[in-house]
A and B are shown apart, each in its own frame.
Chain A
Amino acid sequence: EVLLVQSGAEVKKPGESLRISCKGSGYTFTNYWISWVRQMPGKGLEWMGRIRPSDSYTSYSPSFEGRVSISVDKSISTVYLQLSGLKASDTAIYFCATRATVITGFDYWGQGSLITVSS
C-alpha cells in the first residue's frame, strides 16, 4: 500500500522558519516526483513546488520562490518542505502528493500538516 505520512501540526511565530516532512512507503520512492500543495483556511489548492527524489532536482512556483526549499533524504524515503520568513498568511494545511500509478495527476496524498503562524 502506497502511503505518504507527514509530520504533525505546528505553531510558529512570524519570521520563523518551518520544516515539514513527508515519508513515502509502499512504492519505489525515487521513481516519482513529490509535490507540495498549500491550502489556506477555507481556500483552494496552491501548488508550491516539487522534487525528483532520484537526483534532488527541484522546481518551484514563482509565488513561493525565494522562501521555499524542498529537499530529500533518500536513505529514509523522506521529502522535506522548508518555508522561511513565516507570516500569518502562511497559516495553512500543507500537503505532499505524488503519482505512483497514473501518467499524470496526484493519486496519493499525505494527510496534511496544519501550520499556524501566530505571535
Chain B
Amino acid sequence: DIQITQSPSSLSASIGDRVTITCRTSQAINNYLNWYRQRPGKAPDLLIYAASNLHSGVPSRFSGSGSGTDFTLTISSLQPEDFATYYCQQTYIVPQTFGQGTMVEI
C-alpha cells in the first residue's frame, strides 16, 4: 500500500491567513493526488484533483502543487468556512489511501 504522511495534524490560524498543508507519499504517484475539505457532520468536498486542478465551483483561494512524492495545498486567505479538516488522497494505486487529516482551527 502507498502510505501518506500529512502534516501538520492541526494548526491554528486567523481569518485572512495563508495556510499550507503538505502530503508526502511513500512512492511516486504520477500526480494522482486529491485534496478535500470536510466540515463537521458533512461529507468531504473535493477541492483539488490531480495535484493542481481546481474543481469546478471551488474558490480560487485554494491551490495545489507538487509532483513525485511531495504535494501541497495552499489556502491564500482563510475564510470562516475554511475552518474544517483537510485530507489528501492518492488514487494512483489500489488500495486508495488518505492522509491522516489536518484540522484547521481558529
CA distance A105 to B55 in the complex (A): 10
- Give how many A-B residue pairs fall within 8 Å (CB-CB): 64
Interface residues of A toward B: which range? 20 to 34
Which residues of chain B from 38 to 66 have a CB within 8 Å of any chain A CB? 38, 43-44, 46, 49-50, 53, 55-56
Q: Are A104 and B49 in contact (CB under 8 A)?
A: yes
Contact of B50 (CB < 8 Å), options: A97, A101, A103 = A103
Known: A103-B49, A104-B34, A106-B44. A45 touches B98 (CB 8 A): yes
Contact of B97 (CB < 8 Å), options: A35, A47, A111 = A47
Closest-CB distance, A115 to chain B (whole angstroms): 15
Interface membership of A62, Cβ < 8 A? yes
Known: A95-B43, A104-B50, A110-B43. A59 touches B94 (CB 8 A): yes
Interface membership of A61, Cβ < 8 A? yes
Interface membership of A112, Cβ < 8 A? yes
Number of B residues, CB within 8 Å of A: 24
Interface membership of B89, Cβ < 8 A? yes
Q: Are A44 and B87 in contact (CB under 8 A)?
A: yes
Q: Are B89 and A109 in contact (CB under 8 A)?
A: no
Contact of B95 (CB < 8 Å), options: A62, A97, A106, A109 = A62
Q: Are A107 and B46 in contact (CB under 8 A)?
A: yes
Q: Are B98 and A104 in contact (CB under 8 A)?
A: no
Q: Are A109 and B55 in contact (CB under 8 A)?
A: no
Can you report 21 residue pairs joining A to B where beta carbons are below 8 Å apart? Answer: A44-B87, A44-B98, A44-B99, A45-B87, A45-B89, A47-B89, A47-B95, A47-B97, A49-B95, A50-B94, A59-B95, A95-B44, A102-B46, A102-B50, A102-B53, A103-B50, A105-B55, A106-B44, A107-B46, A107-B49, A111-B43
